[in-house]
Amino acid sequence: MALLQGQSPISQCRCIASSIPETEAYTYHLADLIKSESLKIDGPKRDLGIVDFCTGTGCIPLLLYALLYRKFDHLEVLGVDISTQATKLARSNIDHNIMLGHLPDRQLNHDLGIMQEDIFQNEIIEKLEGRRWDVMVSNPPYISRRAWNYGGGQVGYSVRKYEPSLALVPGDDVPVPVDWNHEDVFYARLLEIACHLRPRAILLEIGDKEQARRVISRFLQHNLSINSEVQVWRDWPDLAPAGDKDCLLEVPVQDGSSRAIPIQGDGNIRSIFIRLDA
């Protein structure tokens, strides 16, 4: 079923925190990679499982489902969030987009769902482990308490005034592993979850170049990084970079040297794409 009037489910989401076109751009790019079979996750049964952590009002899973449901015989897309208000809106967004014709009605062997869970509790691993999760996506809270309180950089005044801090800033009660920054704590937990779910690919939105450098540096010390490929995507990963933008990000590694990570697209640095078991 075609999307109406050139609109996508992500533009039709009624959100707590506003979805942005850059998030939509990398979601489309991820779907194109999956459809091109370059991720090599289309097995004999043509099954695909995608889980989106910190899903908010569900814009990313809605769009991925709309773009991929024709491609696979069995498709499961799941959004997970701790917020009661966000998950309620996410479920409403699914129904709203089905009503508008942007999504197909529920189909046999296809599932688009929303789960309310705290990803820092091990119950989420117990509920998801053993099921097929080929791709893991997350746009988690990644803004520092200082940036939230004083603005500048990642956070403008209007964001601090109108957006809920829960969606943008890690809480004070979340456990921070040794050598991780507080604003990066969700990435540490997501890598831990990935060890259990064993996806083929991970896509993580980040705040800026320095956060990308920190998160990739920690990932390269992780067991998950064996036989992996890492890319950094800019706002518009499908576009050629304009001007003299850097095409490599130098990331420090444990032995004191550095590793050059390719940067793709145009705009500001937006996300990290990891292909596991490459």
According to the model, what pLDDT value does residue 19 have?
52
SS3 115: strand
According to the model, what pLDDT value does residue 18 have?
40
According to the model, what pLDDT value does residue 278 have?
60
According to the model, what pLDDT value does residue 38 have?
74
Region of 22 (left: φ > 0; alpha: ψ -120 to 50; beta: rest) is: alpha
Pairing status of strand 248-252 against strand 229-236? unpaired
According to the model, what pLDDT value does residue 17 have?
38
According to the model, what pLDDT value does residue 82 have?
94
According to the model, what pLDDT value does residue 166 have?
60
pLDDT by position in tens, the chain (length 278): 223 334 455 555 544 334 578 999 999 999 999 998 777 765 556 899 999 999 999 999 999 999 999 999 999 999 999 999 999 999 999 999 999 988 888 777 899 999 999 999 999 999 999 999 999 999 999 886 666 555 555 554 444 444 555 657 777 888 899 999 999 999 999 999 999 999 999 999 999 999 999 999 999 999 999 999 999 999 999 999 988 888 999 999 988 899 999 999 999 999 999 999 86
Domains of the chain: 4-275 (3.40.50.150)
The tokens for 205 are: 């939105």
Q: How buried is 87 (Cβ within 10 angstroms: 0-12 exposed, 13-18 middle, 19+ buried)? A: buried
According to the model, what pLDDT value does residue 64 have?
96
Contacts of 162 (CB under 8 A, 6+ apart): none
The tokens for 248 are: 């490599």
According to the model, what pLDDT value does residue 107 have?
77
SS3 229: strand
Strand partners, 271: 205, 233
According to the model, what pLDDT value does residue 52 have?
98
Pairing status of strand 258-264 against strand 248-252? antiparallel
Phi, psi torsion values for 218, nearest 5 degrees: -70, -40
According to the model, what pLDDT value does residue 232 have?
98
In 10 A of CB 80, how many CB atoms?
24
Phi, psi torsion values for 48, nearest 5 degrees: -150, 135
